[in-house]
């Protein structure tokens, strides 16, 4: 369908020479799967085997926490809830918060024990408190995963202990991490806490990047023999937040170094740009007014090669045959971000006001050019 193009807004040229942008391939990562994405735009910057089914190990606890956070926000649970520790929770193997059978512990304490210490006993206790049984809680986990678009994940328990039918992908884990950061800003700082003490036992967060990179503020590690060494991380640097996932690495140091490598790659060669409160006027046919105010309905974010936005052209592309009547909020076209004639990003534009249709006589005069 034919479009009407109107060059608009900004063209910035720093010099008369052509700008050169080189974005190299992502660095080699020896893990089974990985991905790194821009949190604000959702654009994947690099990945390998990102949709391959992998055992999540303790990354499962990201989903467990997401469910509990959601129920707290819905008013169906509280940080002050007293959670009674069952024998099953107490006996759960693997990493522990060392909760005691029969004791009542505040839900907030169990959440921190699960997030910071990776306590399997805390995860099971939370699941039983929310849903009665861990199996029923897994139903919650899978429903919320479906709502988040995690199409290649299935959860069978709250802790991440091995289960033949439990799996996820690097891509799905990135979605979950981003949703946690976006939906629960009040709880997210717990993922950056370096240590937690319960029952006189101090345990350190297993995410070593919290010590070596001050821009990293989450999220979770995991390990089983089947899964290998996993790490989901997020860093906020130079006005940009990235989320990374490394699955099936060969060791603690390897997953740390591999995560650092792909985060550094993303920050070095890409940037997040945001367009907010754009208001422009475009000509409108068959209306009682000559122009129509258009803009974006929300802040738009997109990812470009670092420095490219400064040299971009911004072009308004109107829908073909755009004419009154138009209602506020109607889609009217796109704002195209172009570099050297190539569209590198596109932002939807809507009408910011109503445009009433002109009378019959006025429309006829317009058609004959009077």
For the annotated catalytic residues, the residue numbers are 58, 61, 118
Q: Looking at residue 20, what DSSP letter applies? A: -
> CB atoms < 10 A from the CB of 10, how many?
9
Alpha helices in 35-169 (DSSP H): 60-73, 87-91, 107-117, 120-131, 134-147
Q: Which of 215, 220, 311, 223 is nearest to 266 (CA)?
A: 215
Contact assessment for residue 173 and residue 49, using Cβ atoms and an 8 Å cutoff: no
> CB atoms < 10 A from the CB of 186, how many?
10
> CB atoms < 10 A from the CB of 108, how many?
16
Judged by phi (left if over 0) then psi (alpha if -120 to 50, else beta), residue 199 lies in: left
Q: Give the integer Cα–Cα distance in Å for 329 and 271.
A: 29
Q: How far is CA 99 from CA 91, 142, 194, in A?
A: 10, 27, 20
Q: Residue 183 belongs to what H/E stretch? A: helix 170-183
Contact assessment for residue 358 and residue 324, using Cβ atoms and an 8 Å cutoff: yes
Q: Residues with Cβ < 8 Å from 197, sequence gap 6 or more?
A: 203
Tell me the two tokens of residue 329.
């909020």
């Amino acid at each position: 369908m034919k479009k009407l193009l109107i060059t608009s807004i900004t063209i910035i040229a720093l010099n008369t020479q052509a700008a050169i942008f080189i974005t190299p391939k992502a660095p080699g990562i020896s893990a089974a799967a990985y991905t790194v994405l821009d949190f604000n735009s959702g654009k994947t910057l690099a990945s390998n085997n990102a949709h391959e089914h992998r055992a999540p190990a303790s990354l499962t606890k990201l989903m467990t926490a997401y469910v509990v956070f959601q129920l707290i926000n819905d008013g169906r649970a509280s940080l002050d809830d007293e959670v009674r520790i069952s024998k099953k929770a107490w006996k759960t193997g693997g990493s522990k918060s060392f909760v005691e059978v029969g004791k009542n512990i505040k839900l907030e304490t169990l959440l921190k024990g699960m997030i910071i210490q990776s306590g399997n006993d805390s995860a099971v206790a939370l699941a039983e408190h929310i849903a009665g049984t861990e199996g029923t809680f897994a139903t919650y986990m899978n429903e919320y995963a479906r709502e988040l678009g995690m199409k290649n994940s299935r959860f069978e328990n709250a802790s991440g202990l091995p289960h033949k039918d439990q799996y996820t992908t690097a891509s799905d884990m990135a979605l979950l991490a981003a949703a946690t950061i976006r939906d629960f800003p009040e709880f997210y700082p717990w993922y950056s806490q370096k240590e937690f003490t319960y029952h006189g036992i101090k345990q350190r967060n297993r995410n070593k990047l919290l010590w070596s990179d001050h821009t990293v503020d989450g999220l979770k590690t995991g390990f089983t023999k089947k899964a290998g060494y996993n790490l989901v991380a997020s860093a906020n640097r130079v006005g940009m937040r990235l989320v990374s996932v490394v699955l099936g690495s060969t060791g603690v140091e390897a997953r740390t170094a591999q995560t650092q490598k792909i985060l550094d790659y993303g920050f070095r060669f890409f940037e997040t740009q945001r367009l907010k409160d754009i208001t422009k006027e475009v000509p409108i046919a068959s209306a009682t007014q000559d122009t129509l105010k258009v803009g974006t309905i929300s802040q738009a974010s997109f990812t470009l090669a670092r420095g490219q936005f400064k040299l971009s052209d911004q072009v308004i592309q109107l829908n073909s045959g755009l004419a009154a009547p138009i209602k506020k909020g109607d889609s009217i076209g796109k704002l195209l971000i172009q570099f050297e004639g190539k569209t590198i990003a596109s932002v939807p534009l809507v009408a910011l006001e109503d445009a009433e249709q002109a009378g019959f006589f006025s429309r006829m005069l317009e058609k004959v050019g009077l």
